[in-house]
């Protein structure tokens, strides 16, 4: 995933956890969790999380887990999500609504603006935060001023933010490692089983998803290589995870959506609401066209079908099997 915009609920031994920045493997007392760039991964009872954007404030909100700080490693290459990135995310949504009559439906966690900073080569990373703080402060101020010039109503407490960031730097310093070398050792050292855990769906991929209603990173299997720095030849089995029906948070194309009592039933029985936003998920019948499309891109070697029991109360189940474009059936996802 690209940062704390995505959320997922994990239930272990009857206890429920809502994760945004951490991998589910953080629960495992024997695991080492690794936050890097795009994705999350798990290494033999050791969990490696890999993300692109790291919001330091979220690193100190995890409660109920013993000694999690000792099991967490952060890559020095992880980009930082600042408070003004999150504020700008919300302002951009307001602008889109005013100018185009519709928005993207982001979680307003600052992911898009952070990736914009990264692509413009003005972003700041963990390594910047932990090295020369005067240099970091200067670049932080320049970046803040850039956003203030674009959004005149944006208010940024620059000195206050820098003070907080300096404090975070010292708290996370013991956790920071060279992410590329960490993964290299994991791949070439003593034998380990590595599981890369993704949070966003294939159809939210910045390149292959339902653009522009997507996230800002590659959440398809290619993110394993670009996010973790894992060479392609090390990618083995690819597991697809799909519900027995289709859901979507926010706006965007959804051909099999059921805006009726069926959709309401799937929503209520499936407890379908966004972990990050609290929004109800849109629900509809299983769409095999997008599932096949996801397989084209990711090359699943196995498929996990979840929430099948939600459909138990229905006498009839429908499945989307094909799309028509211009009255003609097409074999691809348009």
Whether 28 and 14 map to the same domain: the answer is: yes
* Cis geometry, peptide bond prior to residue 212 (ω within 30 degrees of 0): yes
Residue 67 lies in a domain: yes
Whether 270 and 318 map to the same domain: the answer is: yes
- pLDDT, position 207: 95
Residue 1 lies in a domain: no
Specify the CATH number for the domain of residue 267. 3.90.170.10
Which residues are 146's β-sheet partners?
none
What the block records as the tokens of 100 is: 């185009």
- In sequence order, what DSSP letters do the residues of 252-291 get, joined into one string? S--TTB--SHHHHHHHHHTT-B-TTT-PBPEEEEEEHHHH
- pLDDT, position 6: 66
Domain boundary among 174, 196, 228: 174
Of 42, 109, 118, 243, the active-site residue reads 118
Whether 129 and 150 map to the same domain: the answer is: yes
What the block records as the tokens of 153 is: 């109503």
Whether 104 and 70 map to the same domain: the answer is: no
- pLDDT, position 44: 32
Torsion sign over Cα 210, 214, 217, 219 = negative
The structural domain count of the chain equals 3
- Can you tell me the distance from the alpha carbon of 202 to that of 198, in angstroms, rounded to the nearest whole number? 9
- Can you tell me the distance from the alpha carbon of 59 to that of 19, in angstroms, rounded to the nearest whole number? 11
Is 219 within 8 Å of 38 (Cβ atoms)? yes
Q: Nearest CA to 221 among 16, 41, 14, 36?
A: 41
Whether 58 and 94 map to the same domain: the answer is: no
Residue 219 lies in a domain: no
Helix (H) or strand (E) holding 80: strand 79-80
Q: Label the pairing between strands 302-306 and 239-243.
A: parallel
Q: Which residues are CB-neighbours of 260 under 8 A, at least 6 positions away?
A: none
Whether 100 and 161 map to the same domain: the answer is: yes
Whether 248 and 323 map to the same domain: the answer is: yes
Is 294 within 8 Å of 219 (Cβ atoms)? no
Residue 215 lies in a domain: no
Whether 303 and 253 map to the same domain: the answer is: yes
Residue 111 lies in a domain: yes
Whether 66 and 110 map to the same domain: the answer is: no
Residue 312 lies in a domain: yes
Domain boundary among 122, 139, 174: 174
Q: What tens digit of pLDDT does each residue of 92-149 get?
A: 888 777 777 777 677 778 888 998 999 999 999 999 999 999 999 999 999 999 999 9
CA angle in degrees (0–180, nearest 5) for 321-327-331: 40
Residue 213 lies in a domain: no
Domain boundary among 152, 174, 196: 174
118 is known as an active-site residue: yes
Whether 301 and 248 map to the same domain: the answer is: yes
What the block records as the tokens of 109 is: 């966690």
| Structural domain of 54 | 8-74
* H-assigned helices in the chain: 83-100, 111-119, 126-130, 133-150, 158-172, 179-188, 223-228, 261-269, 288-298
Low-confidence residues in the chain, pLDDT < 50:
38-52, 58, 60-61
Whether 54 and 128 map to the same domain: the answer is: no
- pLDDT, position 290: 96
Specify the CATH number for the domain of residue 85. 1.10.300.10
What the block records as the tokens of 104 is: 């993207």
Whether 114 and 130 map to the same domain: the answer is: yes
Residue 202 lies in a domain: no
């Amino acid at each position: 995933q690209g940062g704390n915009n995505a959320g997922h609920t994990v239930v272990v031994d009857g206890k429920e956890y809502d994760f945004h920045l951490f991998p589910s493997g953080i629960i495992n007392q024997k695991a080492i969790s690794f936050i890097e760039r795009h994705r999350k991964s798990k290494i033999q009872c050791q969990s490696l999380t890999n993300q692109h954007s790291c919001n330091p404030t979220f690193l100190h909100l995890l409660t109920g887990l013993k000694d999690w700080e000792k099991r967490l490693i952060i890559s020095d290459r992880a980009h930082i999500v600042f408070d003004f990135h999150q504020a700008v995310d919300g302002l951009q949504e307001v602008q889109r609504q005013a100018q185009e009559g519709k928005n993207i439906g982001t979680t307003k966690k600052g992911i898009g603006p952070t990736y914009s900073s990264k692509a413009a080569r003005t972003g700041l990373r963990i390594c910047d935060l932990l090295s020369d703080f005067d240099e970091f402060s200067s670049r932080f101020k320049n970046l803040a001023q850039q956003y203030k010039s674009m959004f005149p109503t944006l208010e940024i407490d620059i000195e206050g933010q820098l003070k907080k960031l300096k404090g975070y730097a010292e708290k996370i310093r013991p956790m920071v490692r060279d992410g590329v070398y960490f993964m290299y050792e994991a791949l070439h050292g003593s034998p380990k089983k590595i599981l890369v855990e993704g949070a966003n769906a294939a159809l939210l991929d910045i390149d292959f998803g339902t653009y522009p209603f997507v996230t800002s990173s590659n959440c398809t299997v290619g993110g394993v290589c670009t996010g973790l720095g894992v060479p392609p030849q090390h990618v083995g089995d690819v597991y697809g995870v799909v519900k027995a029906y289709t859901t979507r948070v926010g706006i965007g194309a959804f051909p099999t959506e059921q805006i009726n009592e069926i959709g309401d039933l799937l929503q209520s029985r499936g407890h379908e609401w966004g972990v990050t936003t609290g929004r109800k998920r849109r629900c509809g019948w299983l769409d095999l066209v997008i599932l096949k499309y996801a397989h084209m891109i990711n090359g699943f070697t196995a498929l996990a079908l979840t929430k099948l029991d939600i459909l138990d109360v229905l006498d009839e189940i429908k499945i989307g099997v094909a799309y028509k474009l211009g009255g003609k059936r097409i074999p691809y996802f348009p």
